[in-house]
Amino acid sequence: MNEPKRTRRQFLETVGAATTASIITGTDGARTSLGTENKEKLAIDGGTPVRKTPLGYQAYGPQFYNEVEKREILEVLDSKKPFRWWKSGSKTLEFEQAYAAHIGVKYAIGVTSGTTALSAALAALEIGPGDEVILPAWTWYADYDTVVLAGALPVFAEVDSSLNIDPTDIEARITPRTKAIIAVSLQGCPADMAPILEIARKHKLRILEDFSQCVGGRYRGKYLGSIGDIGISSFQQGKTITAGEGGAVVTNDPILFERAVRAHDVGSLRSPYKESLGGGRIPGFAASNFRMNEFTGAILKAQEQDLETICNALRRNTRKVREGIADLPGLKMRKTPDLEGDLGVTVFLDHGTRQRRDQFLRALRAEGISASPPGGSAILPIDERIEKKVTVHPDWPSFNTPQGKAIRYGSECCPQTIDVQQRLGGVIMDPNFTDDDITDIVKAIRKVYLAMYAV
């Protein structure tokens, strides 16, 4: 699965050849601009930085808090009823209905977090001891932890240079016990759902979409969350819209929805879901409490109205940066399966090696632009507690089956993921960057890129 690794010299030769070619044969504009930019001294080497005041992104949702959030939350205070079941006009219900309509699914249930949404979705899919679930090796802990908490066995697949699960590495991980694939859309980039769906159909597997880091993202015209069997998102502060914490489960399947509702509320089915699901079709079962309160519902109802505004602003800003650097010779960007549906959270370049990536990020920061490696996730198989398969009890079912005992995590199970995660890096975008900010980002990336890579 590994892409062929190139030595530094080979890389510089390739880039160098491309640079020379474009300087000699490019249009006049490109030639002049590449030629003069080339001579600029980097801030990291004592040159003048592009910006005096450093530029960085902030949490997206809170930047859009306004009178609507204030009004909604005051209404909950005035009602004296912060618990959703004991009132009419539930804010949480209104949020769920608006969110389901936005994403294009029949059902949505609000829960306390993305993590508890995952637990409810796994319960809906009836995943438990003896089952295996495939997930990307680079993602947030919750995808692994909730599978273990369900008693099932997490099996990692590699990510590719989109930083999402590599569809070509899924089939090798399937066994007769595999029950589901968690298709995670990370740092604003949609997972490549078409090949994943095809594999799932072929092997009769369920797809759980985790679009926590891509709320509002689309794939081939459909919103993430509406493509797999069931979807989950988080509304923690780092996500597109937020109430600080919160989550949701979405689906078109009434049975999966009923199980998710029961899983989130001590196995019960209360109004209005009892009515909307025709009284319910499955018996209750042992479950937890992941219920969303009315304060969270009120904020999310208001935030939901800003979702397209946030996504469109992000996409517009990212497109401008991409256009501003598109002519850089040898440029390799983070891969995406759908540029239109991608949220545009990152402008990440593929630098080929960790050393060059880190050098690039350091130089960009010196220019006054905050620059980052991939974030918001971890390479899970090399996390110590995962590598050691630590659980709350030594007899935990996940690792007591022959498969659970045999499975080996650690760096051997995800060399491609480690490589990709170390090669990529760049700028994390903000919906409220101004045109001047965008100009500075473009200027800084061009300056550092040409200084590093042009010969």
Ligand X SMILES: *Cc1c(COP(=O)(O)O)cnc(C)c1O
Q: Which of 416, 346, 414, 336 is nearest to 374 (CA)?
A: 346
117 vs 313, beta carbon nearer ligand X: 117
The span of 34-42, 109-117, 268-276, 282-290 binding ligand X (CB under 6 A) equals 109-117
Pick one of 212, 251, 303, 317: the residue that binds ligand X (CB under 6 A): 212
Pick one of 76, 121, 184, 299: the residue that binds ligand X (CB under 6 A): 184
Asked if 114 interacts with ligand X (CB under 6 A), we say yes
CB neighbours of residue 418 within 10 Å? 18
Q: Is the peptide bond before 272 cis (omega within 30 degrees of 0)?
A: yes
161 three-state secondary structure: coil
Distance CA 213, CA 192 (A): 15
Tell me the β-bridge partners of 218: 223
Site for ligand X in 233-262 (CB under 6 A): 234, 236, 245, 247
Q: Which of 245, 435, 423 is nearest to 323 (CA)?
A: 435
Q: Which of 203, 241, 190, 209 is nearest to 124 (CA)?
A: 209
Asked if 296 interacts with ligand X (CB under 6 A), we say no
Asked if 113 interacts with ligand X (CB under 6 A), we say yes
Nearest distance in Å: CB 184, ligand X: 5
CA distances from 308 to 71, 102, 172, 216 (A): 21, 10, 38, 7
Distance CA 432, CA 228 (A): 32
Asked if 136 interacts with ligand X (CB under 6 A), we say no
114 vs 352, beta carbon nearer ligand X: 114
Q: Supply 406's token pair.
A: 């045999």
115 vs 318, beta carbon nearer ligand X: 115
Q: Supply 391's token pair.
A: 């659980």
Distance CA 178, CA 13 (A): 45
Asked if 142 interacts with ligand X (CB under 6 A), we say yes
Amino acid at 205: L
Asked if 187 interacts with ligand X (CB under 6 A), we say no
User: Which position has the token pair 């995406």?
Assistant: 336
Asked if 421 interacts with ligand X (CB under 6 A), we say no
The span of 210-218, 286-294, 333-341, 419-427 binding ligand X (CB under 6 A) equals 210-218
The span of 6-14, 208-216, 408-416, 442-450 binding ligand X (CB under 6 A) equals 208-216
Burial (0-12, 13-18, 19+ Cβ within 10 Å), 252: middle
Asked if 345 interacts with ligand X (CB under 6 A), we say no
Nearest distance in Å: CB 141, ligand X: 8
The span of 71-79, 205-213, 364-372, 430-438 binding ligand X (CB under 6 A) equals 205-213
64 vs 290, beta carbon nearer ligand X: 290
111 vs 269, beta carbon nearer ligand X: 111
Distance CA 143, CA 157 (A): 13
Could you tell me if 125 and 230 are in contact, meaning their C-beta atoms sit under 8 angstroms apart? Answer: yes
Nearest distance in Å: CB 59, ligand X: 12
Nearest distance in Å: CB 175, ligand X: 24
245 vs 327, beta carbon nearer ligand X: 245
Residues that bind ligand X (CB under 6 A): 113-115, 139-140, 142-143, 184, 210, 212-213, 234, 236, 245, 247, 376
